[in-house]
Structure 1
Amino acid sequence: MSTRRIVAVTLAVAVLTTTTGCIGFLTGEESLTFAAEPAGVDESAAQSAGYATDGPRVVEVNETFTVAGEERRVVAKNQVNTYEKTLDLGIFEAKLGVFTVISSPAVEIAGRTLNPIGDYSNRELVGLVQSRYQGLSDVDEVSSQTITVQGQETQVTKYAAVANVEGQEVDVYVHVTKYRDGEDFIVAVGVYPQQLGGEEGNVLSMMRAIEHPV
């Protein structure tokens, strides 16, 4: 049985045994919903780094579980806040500086944290990048360091990769970190062209300035 299937079965059993007060969920008429608080970067820190955002958006993940022949649905509402910065590569100019903050509910049932993000490595989190950069390939770890975010230490891993931007291949750096704050997991991913190495300082300053909730 796959890890995903094991998690699904565990979640289903835990939900059905610990939600006796949620009649709508137990009868299948309603879904059980977990929602994250939005996370973002302190406004002055983002402006200083030259990044702007339109604000967080909600991304829902729906899972349907079958127990004893009955289907039940669980909804996780993630918050995604993307910041962008226009950068000039000489041959073309575009919003090539991208910094994304994701808050995802831990989904705790019966004392268990069932959101798989909690077990993801920084390397696996690179796959969560959904922005102007598509099709990241040749991802290799470059370095790692520890910074303080919201009063706690978290590991930031730097990767080198190749991205496709407007039909052109661009060598990029990707910085990833993850930590837990309250009932949510916080993931931050910063991406920028390797030839603009000065952006690393901006990405790290924005990570240190993450706020949750915003």
Structure 2
Amino acid sequence: MLSNRRALAALAVALLLVTSGCIGFITGDEPLAFSADPAAVESGAAQDAGYELNDTRPLEINETVEVAGQERQIVATNYLTDYKKSMELGPLGETEVGVFTVVSTPAVEIAGRTLNPIGSYSNARLVQFVQEQYSGMSDIEQVGEENITVQGTEATVTKFAATATLQGQEVDVYIHVTKYRDGEDFIVAIGVYPQQLGGEEENVLSMMRSIEHPSE
């Protein structure tokens, strides 16, 4: 059901690095490069929640900016790890019903200043950006919030209700978003699933609590 939406939210988050407009300070003739460490869910926790690892891949942002009338370049490497959950639904066969994505993105610190805008974005801002990039998701509304502990850090998980257009049909979904910092990277995790999928919220929270960074 959600196969054509896999990693959509993660890609939207990573694109914030390009659209932020906060990297124009760069000077020098060589590109300034930053790279995150990959993040993932502990394999046993993902299996217990019924999710299968789909892919881990880098997303490199290579942006040329103008500084004092001269072009400068920055390269930022993010990592996306996404999972899928499929179920047998009678005549529909095996259908994808859940997506969970973890994004690691470098903080981009210069002289003690953090320049990655994700560091200052709220969960509501992150999910709004997803909506802006995807015309098939609408009516996003915050419906809950709670704190969890991830890698020894307290993180806020915000729950949103939304409507998604999937295979030509409107489906009510829940979106869970959390963000925290670990070392030199920000970690963003997003879970999306149909509202009628009972018990899935605890599975998503369990996976968020089980994030490992670095994962390699």
Pair in the same fold by TM > 0.5: yes
Shift of 1:75: 1.2
* Alpha carbons 2:60, 2:75 under 8 Å: kept: yes
Q: Distance in 1 between matches of 2:68 and 2:137?
A: 41
Q: Distance in 2 between matches of 1:127 and 1:139?
A: 8
Local SS of the residue matching 2:23? helix
Q: Does 1:59 align with 2:71?
A: no
Shift of 1:105: 0.3
Q: Does 1:116 align with 2:117?
A: yes
Look up the match of 2:68. Answer: 68
Local SS of the residue matching 1:156? strand
Q: Distance in 2 between matches of 1:173 and 1:54?
A: 21
Look up the match of 1:203. Answer: 204
* Alpha carbons 1:56, 1:81 under 8 Å: kept: yes
* Alpha carbons 1:87, 1:97 under 8 Å: kept: no
Look up the match of 1:154. Answer: 155
Q: CA RMSD in A?
A: 2.3
* Alpha carbons 2:54, 2:84 under 8 Å: kept: no
Local SS of the residue matching 1:54? strand
Local SS of the residue matching 1:187? strand
* 190-199 or 82-91, which deviates more: 82-91
Q: Distance in 1 between matches of 2:170 and 2:122?
A: 26
Render the CA deviation track for 1:45-74: whole Å, top value 9, x for unaligned: 001111111331111222222112210110
Look up the match of 1:11. Answer: 23
Identity %: 61
Q: Distance in 1 between matches of 2:39 and 2:170?
A: 31
Local SS of the residue matching 1:125? helix
Q: Distance in 2 between matches of 1:88 and 1:126?
A: 29
Q: How many residues are aligned here?
A: 195
Look up the match of 1:49. Answer: 49
Q: Does 1:172 align with 2:173?
A: yes
Shift of 1:11: 3.3
* Alpha carbons 1:41, 1:209 under 8 Å: kept: yes
Render the CA deviation track for 1:125-172: whole Å, top value 9, x for unaligned: 225659xx9722100011100011101111000000011112211100
Shift of 1:95: 1.2
Q: Which amino acid aligns with 1:69?
A: G
Q: Which amino acid aligns with 1:181?
A: D
* Alpha carbons 1:129, 1:189 under 8 Å: kept: no
Q: Distance in 2 between matches of 1:73 and 1:151?
A: 35
Q: 1:94–1:124: structure 2 CA closer, same or farther, 3 Å change rule?
A: farther
Q: Distance in 1 between matches of 2:183 and 2:163?
A: 35
Look up the match of 1:78. Answer: 78
Q: Does 1:40 align with 2:52?
A: no
Q: Distance in 2 between matches of 1:91 and 1:126?
A: 33
TM-score (norm 1): 0.83
Which 4+ residue blocks in structure 1 deviate beyond 3 angstroms? 87-93, 127-130
Q: Which amino acid aligns with 1:56?
A: T
